[in-house]
Amino acid sequence: MLADILAQLQKQASAGESGVAAAFELNWQCLEPEAQKLASLLSLFALAPIPWSLVESAASYSSLEFDLKANCAVLVERYLLQELVEDTYQVHDRIRELLQQKLEDLAEADELKRGYCQAMVAVAKDIPYTPTLIEIAQATLAIPHLGEAATVYQAWLSNDLIWPFVGLGRFYEGQGANAQALPWREQCLSAARERLGMNTPMWQLA
């Protein structure tokens, strides 16, 4: 349980300290730089289950060339990450918040954000105009993370700005959920016009 992670972190706090933040700092200082970078990358993902394939993709785009699995195991052992099922992970919201603070201290912060966004763009481009049920099922776990790229990390999407919105729209329209697709269409137009100063309906270009 994620609650167990917090409980373990609390127990690890030194006698004069209390709270998750203090215990988190103790664990963070014990991590090698590679594990710190991986943890920081994981903080970019949404508060939802994270498929390992997405982590690998984001790490590749971020040019992280160390042993991801070994460092992932360290994060799990340190109670900074939970393995839900095989190759699916999640970061607790408070831990994620603390990791995001550490991310901003890294020299590679922008590179990690760009890598994350590139991975999400790749996911979006793999969602066809009319996805099958199998394709919808395959994309489902990525959807919250696609939404994170679209709403939080637009500044790192560069020329691929519209793609996360396009992917989200296709995902919901493919299920006949037009009401859920519409806000993403509207946000796509708004973001494109704000970034590019365009009146062209960018959604139609994708």
pLDDT single digits (tens) 62-103? 999 999 999 999 999 999 999 999 999 999 999 999 999 999
Cα 199 to Cα 193: distance, rounded to the nearest angstrom: 6
94's enclosing H/E stretch is helix 93-103
Rounded to 10°, the helix 143-151/178-196 angle is 30
pLDDT single digits (tens) 191-202? 888 887 755 554
**How large is the average pLDDT for residues 156-175?**
94
DSSP symbols for 149-204: HHHT-GGG-GGGTTHHHHHHHHHHHTTT-HHHHHHHHHHHHHHHHHHH---S-GGG
Of the listed ranges 3-12, 53-62, 66-75, 151-160, the one predicted with least confidence: 3-12
- Provide the Cα torsion 39, 44, 49, 55; round to 10°: -60
| pTM to 2 decimal places | 0.86
Q: Is the pLDDT at 154 greater than 50, yes or no? A: yes
Cα 5 to Cα 15: distance, rounded to the nearest angstrom: 19
Total count of domains within the chain: 1
What is Dmax (Cα atoms) for the chain? 61
Determine the pLDDT at residue 88: 97
Q: For residues 190-199, b (16+ Cβ closer than 10 Å) or e, as one string?
A: ebbeeeeeee
50's enclosing H/E stretch is strand 50-51
Determine the pLDDT at residue 41: 98
Q: Give the confidence band of 8 by pLDDT, cuts at 50, 70, 90.
A: low
Q: Give the confidence band of 14 by pLDDT, cuts at 50, 70, 90.
A: very low
Average pLDDT, the chain: 89
24's enclosing H/E stretch is helix 20-30
Closest C-alpha to 36, from 10, 62, 75 = 75
Cα 110 to Cα 12: distance, rounded to the nearest angstrom: 31
pLDDT single digits (tens) 16-66? 445 678 888 888 999 999 999 999 999 999 999 999 999 999 999 999 999
Bigger pLDDT: 18 or 128? 128
Cα 164 to Cα 175: distance, rounded to the nearest angstrom: 17
How many residues in total does the chain contain? 206
Domain that holds residue 80: 2-205
